């Protein structure tokens, strides 16, 4: 075995990417959690948090723990892990906090075990953590967290993940400090949608994929439209419409709700625009009197394990 | 003006391409109609058919005529056209017969007029012909007919057409000689769809676009799945399930209903497979006692006007 201790920076991720509900996600270079795992002679999992979030440390109640437990079911010999997690991605931010913990734990553990599992295995293990966090096994944060870049979940059962090439993208994120539970955000969605809206949505997702693969920023921008989820969910996020409109006016390609919110992300083709957008986001939430945090970052292209 | 007479071979097209209902279409090298247009000193449109289909020759009742009339509204000076149409694409086949007439007429006329209109203009004019044929202005046959290759209609209002690169594709088509009217095929669709099916569909359309642009035949094959339209429409086409299943077993990447049917298309990566599929299609319709026509052809990449 190559190492006795592995430390990974586990990136935040933006699921859905406006028109790709439940199928698209992208990794960011900032913020990120830090996970350190060591092999231990004592079987089982011990979790230590060095952050302010008071997350459970009992493995079966911790997303990283649950993901590791899932992985250990595929390991015939007894193993033990000591894990230290420092979270910078706030739980409930819509930035893939639970995915960073779950993915980070299994990827780091896999490094310790000599990389015996492939990416698809690791995504499957980590999805057990997502199930604990949100009640649903989804991979649209897990996959980009593990593989980097932008990933398409073409199908979840059976799992079919496609890594999509993309041109350089600057990303501005604002996290208004309000609570939107993923489970609640999912519950308010209608179970049926108008066929004509679905057609519009699949035109946009097709346009977004083509724009990413062809490096066509204008097409990316035109395709960043969501006529199904955003109109319902954005009501839960004060300031959403202003952020979106002013960001577009400032030159953003487009953007929308990150995951199930409340964070909002905007894509730009240059850093100056991304910075300007952070400024206007800050102004909006200052005026609304809501605490916030902003990030000016980029699409992270490298995978979680080097 | 460069010429007084233009003759074009106007290709058949496959709309929808399984998971891209109303947004995707591809041009075929066979079958095709032949349209010859001459400028005439006498204003107005005169239409002559040299085929067996007894289509109306009054311009306002003829799809090619209506498309030309639409175009003439954007031409300030009085113009006259004599048009001879030889159709090989049977009306009602689901192979874009009306699109070939409408697109061929306006593209040929545009050549005579020194190419004063661009592709987007020509698509708009030709859509008037589609409206006459099916009651709906759609561009998923018109766009690939005019531009060649595979086209994405990201949005119809406003019109946003994206040409998608694709690897070489062999196409086998069977046209069972039964009648399925586009308007009827549209009417049996439900106006609402389950969100979970819509998600599956947009995963597939995203996968298909990625597969085409990345030249990934396996991904193309996995993505050729339609959980919304095909289960309803395929009931109108005897032999559909057998054709699909046996074609997959014979090595087809996949396929499904061409447009609103009754033609069925299958994609393959080599000619031997495409030929074998034509044979099994013929066997199926022989056994069913239904007249049929098969085509073994390829994705047409060149645009309608050279």
Residue-wise pLDDT tens digits, B136-158: 888 999 999 999 999 999 999 99
CB contact under 8 A, B192 and A194: yes
Contact B199 A21 (CB under 8 A): yes
Name the residue ranges covered by the structural domains of chain A.
5-164, 170-298
Q: What is the pLDDT of residues B53-81, one digit of tens each?
A: 889 999 999 999 999 999 999 999 999 99
The continuous run of DSSP H or E covering B139 comes out as: none
Q: Cβ separation of B195 and A194 shorter than 8 Å?
A: no
* The two three-digit tokens of residue A285, written as one number: 């939430």
Which pLDDT tens digit goes with each residue over B189-237? 899 999 999 999 999 999 999 999 999 999 999 999 999 999 999 999 9
- In the numeric block, which tokens belong to residue A33? 């959690």
B182: distance to nearest CA of chain A, Å? 17
How many angstroms separate the CA atoms of B60 and B66, rounded?
5
ipTM value for the complex: 0.95
A191: buried, middle or exposed (CB in 10 Å: 19+, 13-18, 0-12)? exposed
Task: Identify all chain B residues contacting A195, using CB atoms and an 8 Å cutoff.
Answer: 189-193, 228
Q: Does B228 touch chain A (CB under 8 A)?
A: yes
Question: Which of A:148-167 have CB within 8 Å of B?
Answer: 152-155, 160, 162, 164-165
What fold is seen in the domain B5-164? Ribosomal Protein S5; domain 2 (3.30.230)
For an interface test with A, the pick among B198, B221, B233 (most A C-beta atoms closer than 10 Å) comes out as B198
Per-residue pLDDT reduced to its tens digit, A69-93: 999 999 999 999 999 999 999 999 9
Which residues of B are the active-site residues? 130, 182
Report the candidate in A11, A206, A1 with the shortest Cα–Cα distance to residue A97. A11
CA–CA separation, A249 and A269 (whole Å): 14
Residues in chain A: 306
B228–A198 CB contact, under 8 Å? yes
Cα-based distances in Å from B302 to A89, B171, B306: 50, 16, 7
B205/A202 touch (CB, cutoff 8 Å), yes or no: yes
> If you count them, how many residues does chain B have?
306
Which backbone phi and psi does B244 adopt, to 5 degrees?
A: -65, -50
Does A195 sit within 8 Å of B154, measured CB to CB? no
Distance CA B250, CA B248 (A): 5
Task: Write out residues 48-67 of B within 8 Å (CB-CB) of A.
Answer: none
Tell me which residue of B56, B57, B68 sits closest to B110, measured CA to CA. B68
- DSSP class of residue A304 equals S
Nearest CA in chain A to B22: A199
- Check if the beta carbon of residue B150 is closer than 8 Å to that of residue B133: no
User: B194 and chain A: CB distance < 8 Å anywhere?
Assistant: yes
Reply yes or no on whether the pLDDT at B1 is more than 70.
Answer: no
Q: Tell me if domain A5-164 and domain A170-298 are identical in fold.
A: no
| B194 to chain A: closest CA residue | A192
Binding residues of B for ATP: 90-100
d(CA A255, CA A237): 14
What percent of chain A clears pLDDT 70, i.e. is strictly above it? 98
Mutate to test the interface with A, among B21, B151, B158, B206 (most CBs of A within 10 A): B206
Q: Are strands A24-40 and A5-15 parallel, antiparallel or unpaired?
A: antiparallel
- Asked if residue A16 lies in contact with residue A259, where contact means CB atoms within 8 angstroms, the answer is yes
Around Cβ A243, how many Cβ atoms within 10 Å? 26
Dihedral (Cα; B73, B75, B80, B84), 10-degree rounding: -70
Shortest distance, CA B179 to any CA of chain A (angstroms): 25
Torsion of CA B275, B276, B280, B285, to 10 degrees: 10
| Record: contact B152-A210, CB cut-off 8 A | yes
Question: If pLDDT is split at 50, 70 and 90, which confidence band does B97 have?
Answer: very high
CA distance linking residue A261 with residue A281, whole number of Å: 15
The fold of A170-298 is Alpha-Beta Plaits (3.30.70)
Q: What is the pLDDT of residue A3?
A: 64
């Amino acid at each position: 075995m190559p190492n006795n201790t592995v430390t990974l920076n586990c990136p935040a991720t933006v699921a859905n990417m406006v028109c790709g509900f439940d199928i698209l996600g992208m990794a960011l270079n900032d913020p990120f959690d830090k996970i350190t795992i060591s092999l231990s002679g004592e079987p089982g999992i011990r979790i230590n948090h060095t952050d302010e979030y008071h997350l459970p440390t009992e493995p079966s109640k911790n997303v990283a723990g649950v993901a590791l437990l899932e992985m250990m079911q595929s390991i015939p010999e007894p193993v033990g892990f000591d894990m230290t997690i420092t979270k910078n991605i706030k739980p409930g931010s819509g930035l893939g906090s639970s995915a960073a913990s779950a993915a980070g734990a299994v990827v780091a553990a896999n490094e310790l075990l000599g990389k015996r599992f492939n990416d698809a295995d690791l995504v499957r293990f980590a999805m057990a953590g997502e199930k604990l966090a949100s009640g649903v096994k989804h991979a649209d944060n897990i996959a980009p967290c593990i593989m980097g870049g932008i990933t398409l979940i073409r199908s979840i059962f059976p799992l079919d993940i496609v890594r999509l090439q993309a041109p350089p993208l600057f990303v501005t994120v604002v996290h208004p400090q309000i609570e939107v539970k993923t489970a609640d955000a999912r519950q308010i969605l209608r179970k049926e949608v108008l066929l004509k809206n679905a057609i519009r949505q699949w035109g946009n997702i097709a346009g977004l994929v083509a724009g990413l693969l062809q490096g066509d920023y204008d097409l990316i921008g035109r395709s960043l439209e969501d006529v199904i989820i955003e109109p319902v969910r954005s009501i839960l996020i004060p300031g959403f419409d202003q952020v979106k409109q002013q960001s577009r006016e400032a030159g953003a390609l487009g953007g929308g709700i990150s995951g199930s919110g409340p964070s909002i992300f905007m894509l730009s083709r240059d850093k100056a625009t991304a910075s300007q957008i952070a400024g206007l986001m800050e102004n909006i939430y200052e005026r609304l009197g809501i605490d916030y945090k902003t990030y000016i970052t980029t699409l992270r292209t490298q995978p979680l394990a080097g």
